[in-house]
């Protein structure tokens, strides 16, 4: 089910660019929710140290790291 949702989301992004109001689902500490796109960081396959994420108060894009979908670098 999650894979279908991601595929539909990427298909949508290919035809409709992200605008100023776009919010992305991300994890910030123990909190998960929607954050403004300019506040969300995508780590790709990199694993950031927990201390760094906590110190910087980063919202990390909630996407399975083991999957690589064509076009994911746009986030």
pLDDT digits (tens, 9 = 90+) for 7-53: 787 777 666 676 778 888 898 888 999 999 888 888 777 777 888 77
Query: Is residue 63 within 8 Å of residue 24, measured between CB atoms?
Result: no
pLDDT on residue 15: 67
34's enclosing H/E stretch is strand 31-36
pLDDT classification of 58: cutoffs 50, 70, 90: confident
Say how far apart CA 57 and CA 13 lie, in whole Å: 27
The pTM of this model reads 0.56
75 pLDDT more than 50: no
Token pair of 19 as six digits: 């605008």
Say how far apart CA 5 and CA 13 lie, in whole Å: 12
């Amino acid at each position: 089910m999650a894979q279908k949702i991601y595929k539909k989301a990427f298909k949508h992004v290919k035809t409709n660019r992200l605008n100023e109001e776009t919010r992305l689902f991300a994890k910030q500490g123990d909190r998960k929710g929607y954050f403004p796109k300019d506040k969300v960081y995508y780590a790709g396959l990199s694993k950031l140290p927990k201390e760094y994420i906590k110190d910087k108060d980063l919202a990390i894009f909630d996407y399975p790291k083991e999957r690589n979908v064509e076009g994911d670098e746009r986030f």
